[in-house]
Structure 1
Amino acid sequence: MKPVNKIVAALLSVALLATGYDGFSQGAQKGDLSVNISYFNVNNRIPYVTVNVKSKINGRFQPIGGIPLKLYLDKDSTGTFIGQVVTNEKGLAWANIPPSVKKEWDSSTSHTFLATFDGNKQYETAKADLTVGRAIVTLKVTDDKSITASVFEMKDGSWVPVKGIDLKIAVKRLGGDLPVSETPTFTTDSTGQASADFKRDSIPGDVKGNITLVAKMEDNDQFGNVSAEKVVPWGSKFVYKSTFNERTLFATRNKAPIWLQLIAYSIIFTVWGILIYLVFNVLKIRKLGKSV
């Protein structure tokens, strides 16, 4: 092959390799994000929104952290900007409704929350929206341990009762809410009210016997997550009793229960006894072997 032909062939090979590399890099597709917005209002205080970001990886949706999102109220503009958030390792982020959008908030009976992601090297742009009506939940109790929860929505400048809303009326606990009775949910009537009787008389409270009641609607299609809480002295008083100097499972080694010590020492002596017995037998066999 002539030198000129060799040079031309080399240039064509380089060009083809470069084209193939560009095609490969362009063919690498970015991932798609799933963005979900939830609205929360507790005791008719400052409402807030949470954003949950996931992506389908290996056939399963996984939370995606480190995703910056811009949040808006009703429209994408400076005056309705709620804030910018970044998802944590669980794919969650949240933001309170700031005072800067209070005028916009008060101007309507329903609002649409917007979340936008501008995209990066790994994921395509994404957006989500959620429309909710303005609503509140109130909670009243009586001395005979009767509970009444009411739901109101903003309509024509005033709060009006809402019928047919499913509510959970429960006691707040660390591991989750415990229903106040055997009925898990209650539905509001034409007056927007739902009533329940408290049947958890033996439930532990704080040192004064206080517990926290909660009435909430969860993931409601119209109003989102709205709840009310109230502290009542209906629990049994918690009296702390120190077991520091007593024999318990959670005490120090010298305060362990006698039965537990007996079991532990028995296991130790049995294991070591078997090992010593085996050593003696090995030595005995070795001695017999030398004498033969």
Structure 2
Amino acid sequence: MKSLLNFRYSILVLFYIFLNNSTHQDTYAQNTKNNIVRLNVTYVKIMKGDMFFDIKATSKIDKKSVGIANINLDIYNEIDSSESILLGKTTTNLNGEGKFILDNINAIKTDSTNFYNIKILFKGNDSFKKASKYFSFKNADINSKLITKDSINYISATLIDRTNDSPIEGEPLTVQVQRLFKPLKLGKELNFTNENGSIVVPIEEGIPGVDEILTFEIVLTDHDDFGTIKALIKAPIGIPIVEESTFNERTMWSPRNKTPIFLLIIPNILTFGIWGFIIYLIVNLFKIQKT
């Protein structure tokens, strides 16, 4: 009888869990169904490197903005109102982020105003509505080099509009040194280009670098017309990094095979001394008992 009651109780518990999960899934489906997807896109160009569209898909679910994972996005080049070319597709990752790499700038065409017009299209699914994002940009370059004058090193950079190869004046460029966690900025926070589209920023002395190599970044960030452009310069002008690692030394925080010598000797002396004294006492106890 008791076994039968336990069996019935188990059935009821399982049924409750199943019903609860089903209700939760239905509620989530209802909450996400027909939600609006928001697409944010940035054009990024790395000089002598990749050109790509950085895409982020989000939606507001339960009053929170979350990334939408695993949705398929189509990327089109809109040439005019009647002509559109499919460039390719991409899928967002678990954070709702996607990346579409262009082979080169010649893979897309401009309109009559020399702007590249791009459309990102999400066709919708059972949970989210159809969405699209249009954005335009022009082609520009950052030409940069390292110069030395009076024993002082400088970064020289010029921002060029590739439409007519003309300099771009009055735009902010950031000059910084690559670091593992956060770049080290040089000069002013923003260095505005002059009438020649150029900036010249002095390099501080005493910046450490692995094998004396420093990697400088010259960046135009999220511009309305040109997107994000980044130029990189590597130069052997850093201060050598002094190796301060104690990995191969015998320290208190080393692994067992690197235990300090005094920690091996002193405890062993104490251990053998105590056991030797105990054995001495036992031997003397037997001698006393015999006598």
Q: TM-score of the superposition, structure 2-length normalised? A: 0.70
Corresponding residue to 1:193 among 198, 209, 221: 198
Tell me how far apart the structure 2 counterparts of residues 249 and 31 of structure 1 sit (CA, whole Å).
57
Contact 1:114 1:130 in 2 (8 A): yes
Secondary structure in structure 1 of the residue aligned to 2:142: strand
Secondary structure in structure 1 of the residue aligned to 2:162: strand
Contact 1:82 1:95 in 2 (8 A): no
Tell me how far apart the structure 2 counterparts of residues 83 and 131 of structure 1 sit (CA, whole Å).
17
Which structure features the higher share of strand residues?
2
The alignment status of 1:70 with 2:74, answered yes or no, reads yes
Unaligned runs of 5+ in 2: 1-26, 264-291
TM-aligned CA distance change 1:252 to 1:46, over 3 Å: closer
Secondary structure in structure 1 of the residue aligned to 2:254: coil
Contact 2:51 2:103 in 1 (8 A): no
Q: TM-score of the superposition, structure 1-length normalised? A: 0.70
Report percent identity of matched pairs: 25
Tell me how far apart the structure 2 counterparts of residues 58 and 169 of structure 1 sit (CA, whole Å).
41
TM-aligned CA distance change 1:149 to 1:102, over 3 Å: same
Corresponding residue to 1:142 among 125, 143, 147: 147
The alpha carbon displacement at 1:47 in A equals: 1.7
Provide the aligned C-alpha RMSD in A: 3.1
Contact 1:145 1:198 in 2 (8 A): yes
Unaligned runs of 5+ in 1: 1-23, 262-292
**Stretches of 4+ moved more than 6 A in 1?**
76-79
Q: What residue in structure 1 maps to residue 254 of structure 2?
A: 251
Contact 1:80 1:104 in 2 (8 A): no
Tell me how far apart the structure 2 counterparts of residues 101 and 248 of structure 1 sit (CA, whole Å).
59
Secondary structure in structure 2 of the residue aligned to 1:96: strand
Contact 2:218 2:231 in 1 (8 A): yes
Q: What residue in structure 1 maps to residue 160 of structure 2?
A: 152
The alignment status of 1:227 with 2:230, answered yes or no, reads yes
The alignment of Structure 1 onto Structure 2 pairs a total of residues equal to 232
Tell me how far apart the structure 2 counterparts of residues 77 and 101 of structure 1 sit (CA, whole Å).
20
Contact 2:213 2:238 in 1 (8 A): yes
Contact 1:110 1:133 in 2 (8 A): yes
Contact 1:81 1:101 in 2 (8 A): no
Secondary structure in structure 1 of the residue aligned to 2:109: helix
Q: What residue in structure 1 maps to residue 44 of structure 2?
A: 40
Contact 1:151 1:188 in 2 (8 A): yes
Q: What residue in structure 1 maps to residue 183 of structure 2?
A: 177
Contact 1:82 1:98 in 2 (8 A): no
CA deviation profile, 1:70-116 (whole Å, cap 9, x unmatched): 01122599973221100001111111114696362699732111100
The alignment status of 1:113 with 2:118, answered yes or no, reads yes
Tell me how far apart the structure 2 counterparts of residues 231 and 62 of structure 1 sit (CA, whole Å).
38
The alpha carbon displacement at 1:245 in A equals: 3.4
Tell me how far apart the structure 2 counterparts of residues 58 and 247 of structure 1 sit (CA, whole Å).
55
Contact 2:46 2:229 in 1 (8 A): yes
Contact 2:120 2:134 in 1 (8 A): yes
Q: What residue in structure 2 maps to residue 202 of structure 1?
A: 206
Tell me how far apart the structure 1 counterparts of residues 34 and 111 of structure 2 sit (CA, whole Å).
40
Secondary structure in structure 1 of the residue aligned to 2:107: helix
User: What is the one-letter code of the residue matched to 2:133?
Assistant: A
